[in-house]
């Protein structure tokens, strides 16, 4: 009976996913630097994303009063690299004579590949095992600053690269 209760609680979100301590501290440091605040000002919440992936949300109030929110998800479902590539291709397609939305921007030297998706304010990358998604909400920041913060948040989640066969 206790095992059934534990499983039921886990399904309701009572248990938190385990994230590597080094990952958490490096991302906290990056978010604190971006907001020009001490690391103690960054609030960290672990959760399970809708995809079932272990995730973490980092929130801090900037000196100007704006909130900086970074959410990182490490999805370990099969074929991570192919899912990354498919997302990039599909988001790049246009079915109208005039493109209505910006295309994903390549982010070099990150994982097996990486792109910034401007409409979602999200970075997707993969090491071949995990599909890493980093969403940045940083009011009035430049896109370059958002990408820089997303890259810093993604790096600790990337493991050894496993290129597809």
5: helix, strand or coil: helix
Higher local confidence (pLDDT), 10 or 120: 120
- Identify the pLDDT of residue 21: 55
Q: Which long-range contacts (CB under 8 A, 24 or more apart) does 115-122 make?
A: 115/84, 115/87, 115/88, 116/143, 116/146, 116/147, 116/150, 117/87, 117/91, 118/143, 121/146, 122/150
Higher local confidence (pLDDT), 7 or 81: 81
Q: What is the mean pLDDT of the chain?
A: 86
DSSP readout, 134-154?
EEEE-TT--HHHHHHHHHHHH
Give the pair of three-digit tokens for residue 155: 């790096």
Cα distances (Å, whole numbers) of residue 2 to 18, 24, 50, 96: 22, 31, 26, 57
Nearest residue to 134 via CA among 157, 148, 155, 150:
150
Lowest mean pLDDT among 7-16, 55-64, 131-140, 154-163: 7-16
- Identify the pLDDT of residue 25: 86
If you ran DSSP here, which 8-state letter would residue 129 be given? S
- Identify the pLDDT of residue 3: 41
- Identify the pLDDT of residue 16: 38
């Amino acid at each position: 009976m206790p095992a059934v209760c534990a499983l039921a609680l886990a399904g309701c979100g009572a248990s938190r996913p385990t994230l590597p301590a080094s990952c958490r501290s490096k991302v906290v440091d990056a978010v604190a630097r971006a907001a020009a605040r001490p690391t103690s000002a960054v609030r960290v919440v672990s959760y399970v994303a809708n995809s079932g992936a272990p995730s973490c949300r980092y929130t801090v109030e900037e000196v100007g009063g704006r909130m900086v929110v970074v959410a990182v998800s490490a999805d370990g479902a099969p074929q991570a690299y192919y899912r990354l590539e498919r997302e990039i291709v599909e988001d790049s397609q246009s079915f109208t004579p005039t493109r209505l939305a910006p295309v994903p921007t390549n982010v070099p030297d990150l994982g097996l590949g990486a792109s910034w998706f401007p409409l979602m304010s999200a970075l997707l990358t993969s090491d071949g095992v995990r599909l890493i998604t980093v969403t940045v909400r940083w009011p009035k920041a430049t896109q370059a600053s958002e990408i820089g913060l997303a890259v810093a948040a993604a790096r600790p989640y990337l493991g050894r690269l496993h290129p597809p066969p």
